[in-house]
Amino acid sequence: MRRIGYLLLMCCAFSCTTNENDLFPFASVNLELDLTYEDKALKESMAYKTYIMGQTTGLSAVERTGFGGVIVYHDLYGYSAYDLACPYEMKYAIRVEIDESRFKAICPSCGSEFGIYENGGAVLKGPATQGLKRYNTHQSGNKIYVTN
């Protein structure tokens, strides 16, 4: 009986791990982008646009922009959306920035680098160990919907 109890205790201890994305603050994301008008620049490959509540004009009252804001990026596979907050820093005001090559996003505070063109926001260089928080994107005609 003791062995079974010990075994259960060990299973629970090793299964209860957390990572940076588990600790990343939840914040609603709900964006409707229009590729015909104000968001038409996103049609170009490697184009991106950031959406930050209170800073981005044209957001409706029902739209939400995550924890640190949302970046929508036209990558190798279509459209991807990520939270702008660095997953290592986890502060809404410390936002990753796209580098000149437009292949990666870099945190100006810790220096972590994330691949956004073909790596899905994965860590390229630490200290971060988890990639950017990714949001769902769905395209229907000239509309892109971003949600969590």
Q: What is the pLDDT of residue 3?
A: 55
Q: Evaluate whether residue 7 is within a structural domain.
A: no
The continuous run of DSSP H or E covering 4 comes out as helix 2-15
List pLDDT tens digits, range 15-61: 444 344 457 889 999 999 999 998 999 999 899 999 999 888 888 88
| Domain range enclosing 88 | 23-147
Q: Evaluate whether residue 57 is within a structural domain.
A: yes
Q: How many domains does one find in the chain?
A: 1
Q: Residue 27 is part of a domain; what is its CATH number?
A: 2.102.10.10
Q: Evaluate whether residue 18 is within a structural domain.
A: no
Q: Evaluate whether residue 93 is within a structural domain.
A: yes
Q: What is the pLDDT of residue 77?
A: 86
Q: Evaluate whether residue 3 is within a structural domain.
A: no
List pLDDT tens digits, range 111-148: 999 999 888 999 999 999 999 999 999 999 999 999 99
Q: Evaluate whether residue 53 is within a structural domain.
A: yes
Q: Evaluate whether residue 65 is within a structural domain.
A: yes
Q: What is the pLDDT of residue 58?
A: 83
